[in-house]
Amino acid sequence: MEKEKYYISTAIAYTSGKPHIGNTYEIILADAIARYKRALGYDVYFQTGTDEHGEKIELKAKEAGITPQEYVDKVASDIKRIWDKMNTSYDRFVRTTDPKHEKQVQKIFKKMYDKGDIYKGEYKGLYCTPCESFWTESQLVDGKCPDCGREVKIASEEAYFFKLSKYQDRLVEYIESHPDFIQPESRKNEMLNNFIKPGLQDLCVSRTSFTWGIPVDFDSKHVVYVWLDALTNYITNIGFDVDNPTDEFKKYWPADLHLIGKDIIRFHTIYWPCFLWSLDVDLPKQVFGHPWLLTNNDKIGKSRGNAIYADDLADLFGVDAVRYYVLHEIPFANDGNLTYDLLIERYNSDLANILGNLVNRTISMAKKYFNGIVPSIGVKEDIDADLINTVTSAITKTTEDMNNLRVADAIDSVFEIFRRSNKYIDETTPWTLAKEENTERLQTVIYNLLEAIRIGAVLLHSFLPETAEKIFAQLNTDLTDFSSIETFGKLESGKELNDPSPLFVRIDKEAFLKELSQ
Ligand code: ME8
């Protein structure tokens, strides 16, 4: 049977500078979802990449004394390096300076123009250069850009406009009749009430004030507005063509999920649907605007001097510790907070204590009591059923959470298995059973613990792949896919375990922070 497809994308990151941990959170979140869907049996296509045009980048390159292309090549490779370092399993890393994308954007612009959805006019407005956005007077906050708080300038230029207004009623109707299109729900109301219903103005989709962009091919002093260029990445890179879309496009589009940050929901749920309708293309099934990661409860910003980078954190704590922290600490709809202090606390309590100790203790006991051979089930007691129930319901709950994009809840559901297993050790006290030479009972206890750990690791793999693989290696098992966890008890008795080695070594917080501040 052909697998059901699942197309997930992240935003494409600006190549204005190195991405901070907030930007990196997004690719890790997408990765956990993509891996989980693959584990469930979907044919996943996972796309990410970089957004490389615009005035800001042109200025940055000038400051650096290099060409914009040299500048974006450097930053894009840094972004890709970080995505790779964080062990993200994207299928394609796309760049908006790819000539194939550029060609398609020109064709798209022309098609919209020929259709009458793009027309030539004059633009006068308040423009925020860093955000590449025009604003109306009423959208400003204290006279400044509502997104970044910086000065805006009056800008006027001959420009092409896209007829957003034409699609306003259709957009309201669509959003209201597709309650899952914008997630979380609160964002949907914000879009409808604050942006769409008050009235959509036609959107300026070309610029003449700088040159680092895709030229409008029939009027080359104009470059295409960076958001029209950027948003179309989702279709151009899977083979969209205005005349002749490829089979890949027909297979994967519409995307199942555009995963983006809450600050760019507006672009994805207003401009993007209207652009797609103009091209007679279906809309993506869902746009999820994830919350932000803050540091010390403050927005992370390159210019604020408080940027923390994922690769630095990974060097200090390990890739999976960083993945765990960001996935666990940012709930579905509320911002999460990151400090070294909090990260070390989570690391010690969840990774070193709950998970690391459990695996280490269990394998060590199996070594000690059974020479490292997985025992078979002996005598059962009621308490076993409770452990097994917890494991079974955690599997169901994790999948439910993932289907609802509640990734922080899902990882917590997986940890429920590890917490319950630790409790099971306290309840059954295997060392007493050993002392009493109650081998039959001890066999069951150790078997159940090993199997609970294996099942936990199968689920954990989407979130902390490297850790899960280390656990599989210690358990010496090939039973690592979802079909192996349909029932409790598949771990093969008689197999020899490998030697235990600590997964996460406890960190001495005070000493660590002291050293860091020096
Ligand atoms: O917005 N916490 O690129 P970008 C979590 N090029 N997520 C954050 C964040 C934070 N502190 N700060 C930013 C762009 N993000 C455009 C996208 S898509 C067609 C074009 C998220 O590099 C942000 O919301 O500024 C966005 O989803 C992603 O990081 C890349 O941001």
Nearest atom of ligand 1 to the alpha carbon of 294: 11
- pTM of this prediction? 0.94
Nearest to 274 by CA among 134, 109, 117: 117
The whole-angstrom separation of Cα 137 and Cα 329 is: 37
What local confidence, expressed as pLDDT, does residue 303 receive?
60
Summarised one tens digit per residue, pLDDT across range 118-145 is 999 988 889 888 887 778 888 899 999 9
Q: What's the CA-to-centroid distance between 264 and ligand 1, angstroms?
A: 7
Q: What pLDDT, on the 0 to 100 scale, is given for residue 139?
A: 84
* One-letter amino acid of 464: L
Atom of ligand 1 nearest to the CA of 51: 6
Q: Among 15, 51, 276, which is best to mutate for testing ligand 1, by the most ligand atoms less than 8 A from CB?
A: 51
- Helices and strands in the chain, H and E counts: 21, 15
Q: How far is the CA of 132 from the centre of ligand 1 (A)?
A: 14
Ligand 1 center from residue 334 Cα (angstroms): 16
Residue-level pLDDT at 157: 76
At residue 130, the 3 state secondary structure works out as coil
pLDDT band for position 302 (50/70/90)?
low
Residue 2: the pLDDT is 85
Report the nearest-CA residue for atom 31 of ligand 1: 13
Atom nearest to 13 CA in ligand 1: 22
Ligand 1 atom closest to residue 260's alpha carbon, by position in its atom list: 27
Q: Name the CATH superfamily for 339-485.
A: Isoleucyl-tRNA Synthetase; Domain 1 (1.10.730.10)
Phi/psi for 126 (5° steps) reads: -100, 120
What is the pLDDT, as a whole number, of residue 392? Answer: 98
Q: What confidence category does residue 304 fall into, taking pLDDT thresholds of 50, 70 and 90?
A: low
- Cα of 262 vs centre of ligand 1, distance in Å, is 8
Residue nearest to atom 24 of ligand 1 (CA): 261
| Better pLDDT: 139 or 52 | 52
Token pair 């925020």 in the structure block, residue: 128
**What's the mean per-residue pLDDT of the chain?**
95
Q: Sign (positive/negative) of CA torsion 232, 233, 235, 236?
A: positive
Over the stretch 319-350, which tens digit does the pLDDT of each residue have? 999 999 999 999 888 899 999 999 999 999 99
Ligand 1: centre distance to CA 454 (Å): 36
Residue with CA at minimum distance from ligand 1 atom 15: 23
Average pLDDT over residues 73-83: 98
Cβ(291)–Cβ(187) below 8 Å: no
Helices (DSSP H) in 178-289: which residue ranges? 185-190, 226-231, 233-236, 247-252, 265-266, 272-278
- Tell which one of 25, 26, 276 to mutate to probe ligand 1, the residue whose CB is within 8 A of the most ligand atoms: 26
The predicted structure's pLDDT at residue 296: 80
- The residue contributing the CA closest to ligand 1 atom 28 is 23
From the CA of 259, give the closest atom in ligand 1. Answer: 27
Could you tell me the residue ranges of all domains in the chain?
Answer: 339-485
> Ligand 1, atom 7: nearest CA belongs to which residue?
22
Q: What is the CA radius of gyration of the chain?
A: 26
Q: How many CB atoms lie within 10 A of CB 90?
A: 21
> Residues 86, 322: contact at Cβ < 8 Å?
yes
Residue with tokens 């922070």: 513
Count of beta carbons in the 10 Å neighbourhood of residue 84: 12
pLDDT of 291 > 90? The answer is yes
Of ligand 1's listed atoms, the one at least distance from the Cα of 234 is 19
The CA 228 to ligand 1 mean position distance, Å, reads: 16
The pLDDT value recorded for residue 307 is: 83
Instruction: List pLDDT tens digits, range 361-413.
Output: 999 999 999 999 999 999 999 999 999 999 999 999 999 999 999 999 999 99
Residue of 14, 21, 23 with the most ligand 1 atoms within 8 Å of its CB, for mutation: 23
Closest by CA to 291, choosing from 300, 282, 302, is: 300
The pLDDT, as a whole number, for residue 147 is 85
Mean pLDDT for the stretch of residues 434-447: 98
Contacts of 358 (CB under 8 A, 6+ apart): 418, 421, 422, 425, 449, 453
Distance (Å) from CA 23 to ligand 1 centroid: 5
Q: What is the pLDDT of residue 156?
A: 79
Distance between CA atoms of 490 and 222, rounded to whole angstroms?
64
Q: Which residue has the higher pLDDT, 299 or 160?
A: 160
Let me know: does 278 contact 112? Beta carbons within 8 Å. Answer: yes
What average pLDDT does this structure show over 76-96?
98
Instruction: Mean pLDDT check: name the lowest of 212-216, 230-234, 293-297, 488-492.
Output: 293-297
> How far apart are the CA of 20 and the centre of ligand 1, in A?
10
For 225-279, what is each residue's pLDDT tens digit? 999 999 999 999 999 999 999 999 999 999 999 999 999 999 999 999 999 999 9
Pocket of ligand 1 (CB under 6 A): 11-14, 22-23, 25-26, 51, 230-231, 260-261, 263-264, 292-293, 300
